[in-house]
Each structure stands twice: as C-alpha cells, then as structure tokens.
Amino acid sequence: MTIKAGDTLPADIKLKEMSDAGPKDVASGDVFSGKRVVLFAVPGAFTPTCSMKHLPGFVEKSAEIKGKGVDEVVCLSVNDAFVMGAWGKAQGADGKVRMVADGNGDFTKALGLTMDGSGFGMGQRSQRYALIAKNGIVEHVLVEPGPGLTVSSADSVLSKL
C-alpha cells in the first residue's frame, strides 16, 4: 500500500547519513519527530534529472521552504551513505538539505514507493516523490506519474506549504 496524506511514517527503520566520523545510523522516526519536514526522494544520486534539477532545486529553494514553517529539508535515495555524502558535497547541500541513505530500500518499501530500475542496471530504487510531514504525520505526498520532474519539484512543494 502506498503512503498517503494522514498516514504515520514508519519510525523504526534504520537509515544512514555521513558524519565526520563516517556513516552513522539514523532512525527514521528521528528524522521526523517533533518537526515539520519536507522529504524528497530520487531514484539515484548523480543521475541526470536528480543532479541537474531535483536536488539543485531544493538546495536553491531551501531557505524559502524553511521560511514557510519547515524545519528541515531531507533528500533520500536508495544509495549508500558514502554516495549520498559525496553527492551532497558536490551539490552544495551542506546546511541546506540533509542527505539520507536508504541503502537497503527498507523505508522506500515501507512507503510502497519502490521502482524497479533493473532495466537500467540499477536494481530496486525509490520512485521520485516528495512529501511534507509534521511530527511524522503525512500532510502531502507528491509522486511523479512517470519520468521527469513536475509534481515533486521544489516549486511544487512550495505551492503546498
């Protein structure tokens, strides 16, 4: 079943993010607890649409998004923490977008938003989407209907805040 507005996000899934000391565990609940969060997910770090449009849009608009009552902007991908950390650095995301790895796709599966990228040699990945959540309760889910970037862009998210 695909996550929808009004649903509670899973709190007990182990995600990863890079720190100065290396990858560290982050419980999914800690990402959302006690705050309003915009999370957007991409099929793969360093891939064309993700690197040229999706992440850059949120990096560019992070202050505007946070100005509308959002505590944190989070990028999630079914990649490892090393890749997400390097991609965030390459895109200038530090201090603007938190880069979180769902390496095994457990969070993505729990939301019902997996995508089979086997035809591209990518295996199971996340669909492209964005969601807005307050204290772990989903307010909006914006899942791309197909290839490209329309409904889950930073501008689209801003129109929902």
Three-state secondary structure of 37-106: EEEEEECCCCCHHHHHHHHHHHHHHHHHHHCCCCCEEEEEECCCHHHHHHHHHHCCCCCCCEEEECCCCH
- The whole-number average pLDDT for the span 83-89 is 96
Question: Rounded to whole angstroms, how far apart are CA atoms 56 and 75?
Answer: 11
pLDDT tens readout for residues 94-135: 999 999 999 999 999 999 999 777 777 676 879 999 999 999
Measured from the Cβ of residue 68, the count of other Cβ atoms closer than 10 Å reads 13
Q: In sequence order, which residues have a C-beta less than 8 Å from that of residue 134 and are 6 or more positions away?
A: 35, 36, 37
Among 3.90.1640.30, 3.40.50.150, 3.90.1150.30, 3.40.30.10, name the CATH number for the domain at 14-160.
3.40.30.10
Say what the pLDDT of residue 47 is.
80
Q: Which residue has the higher pLDDT, 64 or 115?
A: 64
Which of the 8 DSSP states describes residue 2?
Answer: -
Beta bridge partners of 22: 19
Percentage with pLDDT > 70 across the chain: 98
CA 161/CA 157 separation, integer angstroms? 7
Identify the residue with better confidence: 147 or 60. Answer: 60
Q: Check residue 121 and give its pLDDT.
A: 66
pLDDT tens readout for residues 22-63: 999 999 999 999 999 999 999 988 887 778 889 999 999 999
Three-state DSSP class for residue 160: helix
pLDDT band with cut points at 50, 70 and 90 for residue 8: very high
The chain-wide mean pLDDT, for the chain, equals: 94
Q: Which residues are catalytic?
A: 50
pTM: 0.95
